[in-house]
Amino acid sequence: MPLSAGGSFDPGGPVAAEINQLWWLMLWLGVATFVLFLVLLARGLTRDDDGSGPDRSRTFLYAGGLVLPAVVITVVFAATLVSMRALSAEADENAVVVEITGHQWWWEIEYPELGISTANEFHIPIGRDVELRLRSDDVVHSLWLPELAGKLDLLPERVNVLVLRADQPGNYGGTCAEFCGLQHTKMRITAIAETEERFSAWVDRQRSIPDPPSTSEAEEGARLFAITGCAECHTVRGTDAVGVDGPDLTHLMTRMTIGAGTLTNDLESLGDWIRRPQDHKEGISMESPDLTDAEIDSLLAYLATLE
Ligand code: CUA
């Protein structure tokens, strides 16, 4: 699976780094307080005589019960405010805007300023702010790309904005972080951070319309795609397939996975997915089309042209 496993301890950009720093500060303050407590406890338990007297006890009481927690909580509170300010900063003017819509159980991805639609994987240029506009088409989902940012909910009735930036190229794996039904765990997303040149090459490719099928098998597959129900749910730009219930398949072959991270995207898995979608991801809207093996091979020959 092309999903990275570095997690939030391996920040790939400034937003995640800010959260990571705050986390470590809280951890070390917690550790220091706990160690101090253990030392005092050990001392109290091992003392022979109690010659401290009420004055010293009261000093300890105030120091440990009021001053120490007040100092620690104030420091954490102040650090959290600083981090929150840094995180809520607005995106730069030249930010890439990406609209992400949560569905049960996949991610619809659009670049309104670039005219691109895709699903479950999105490309971003390194070193540039990315403004994610999040909403849901059904229930509450939550986007979490641990190496790039904190979690943020996708809600049906409003748009939440998450700004992030990747400084290093790489595939940053993410997931839905809010229970959203049967296939919540199979709702993966990947941010692919790359150089400005590679990003614009990707954008050009996604904007293009794939060449029409050139073999008779692929042509037959295109015909089957149009008449067996695929086209009712999926869009392939440049054709009559304009369904919007499932992922846009115009450039399906440029994506790494099928079913939001369920399977690796190759023709064998794709064939298996089309034959038995409910076995791979029970509860999704997709049903297997009523096709013979030969017809599914034709369908695959067509899908292979969607580059
Ligand atoms: Cu979508 Cu959990």
225-281 tens-digit pLDDT: 999 989 999 999 999 999 999 999 999 999 999 999 999 999 999 999 999 999 999
User: 68-87 vs 14-46: helix axis angle to the nearest 10?
Assistant: 170
Mean of all residue pLDDT scores within the chain: 91
Mean pLDDT of 208-216: 92
Please give the Cα distance from 102 to 123 (Å, whole number): 17
State the distance from the centre of ligand 1 to the C-alpha of 281, rounded, in angstroms. Answer: 14
Kindly indicate the confidence band of residue 207, based on its pLDDT and cuts at 50, 70 and 90. very high
Instruction: Pick the atom of ligand 1 nearest to 105's CA.
Output: 1
State the distance from the centre of ligand 1 to the C-alpha of 101, rounded, in angstroms. Answer: 11
Kindly indicate the confidence band of residue 300, based on its pLDDT and cuts at 50, 70 and 90. very high
Mean pLDDT of 2-24: 81
Mean pLDDT of 147-173: 94
Residue whose C-alpha is closest to residue 145's, from 123, 175, 185, 120:
175
State pLDDT tens for residues 66-81.
Answer: 998 899 899 999 999 9
Q: How buried is 271 (Cβ within 10 angstroms: 0-12 exposed, 13-18 middle, 19+ buried)?
A: middle
How confident is the model at residue 54, as a pLDDT?
A: 75
Residue whose C-alpha is closest to residue 2's, from 187, 203, 172:
172
pTM of the model: 0.86
In this structure, what token pair is assigned to residue 101?
A: 């819509």
| Nearby residues of 15 by Cβ (< 8 Å), 6 or more positions away | 86, 87, 148, 149, 150, 163, 164, 165
Instruction: Pick the atom of ligand 1 nearest to 102's CA.
Output: 1
State the distance from the centre of ligand 1 to the C-alpha of 177, rounded, in angstroms. Answer: 6
State pLDDT tens for residues 114-140.
Answer: 999 999 999 999 999 999 999 999 999
For 181, the enclosing helix (H) or strand (E) is: none
Per-residue DSSP letter, 186:
G
Q: For a pLDDT cut of 90, what percent of the chain falls above it?
A: 76
Kindly indicate the confidence band of residue 294, based on its pLDDT and cuts at 50, 70 and 90. very high
**Residue 175: how many CB atoms within 10 A of its CB?**
20
CB 76 within 8 A of CB 24: no
User: By alpha-carbon position, which residue is closest to atom 1 of ligand 1?
Assistant: 141
How confident is the model at residue 267, as a pLDDT?
A: 94
Indicate whether 186 pLDDT > 80: yes
Question: What is each CA distance from 95 to 124, 181, 209, 276, in whole angstroms?
Answer: 10, 33, 26, 41
CB 252 within 8 A of CB 243: no
DSSP string, 247-287: ---TTGGG-SEETTTTEE-SHHHHHHHHH-HHHHSTT-S--
Output the ligand 1 site: residues, CB below 6 A.
102, 105, 141, 176, 178-180, 184, 187
How confident is the model at residue 2, as a pLDDT?
A: 43
Kindly indicate the confidence band of residue 28, based on its pLDDT and cuts at 50, 70 and 90. very high
Please give the Cα distance from 27 to 35 (Å, whole number): 12
Residue whose C-alpha is closest to residue 277's, from 208, 229, 226:
229
State the distance from the centre of ligand 1 to the C-alpha of 44, rounded, in angstroms. Answer: 50
Residue whose C-alpha is closest to residue 97's, from 126, 137, 124, 127:
124
Kindly indicate the confidence band of residue 9, based on its pLDDT and cuts at 50, 70 and 90. confident
Instruction: Pick the atom of ligand 1 nearest to 184's CA.
Output: 2
Kindly indicate the confidence band of residue 152, based on its pLDDT and cuts at 50, 70 and 90. very high
Based on its alpha-carbon atoms, the radius of gyration of the chain, rounded to whole angstroms, reads 26
| Dihedrals phi, psi of 280, to nearest 5 degrees | -80, -35
Indicate whether 3 pLDDT > 50: no
State the distance from the centre of ligand 1 to the C-alpha of 141, rounded, in angstroms. Answer: 4
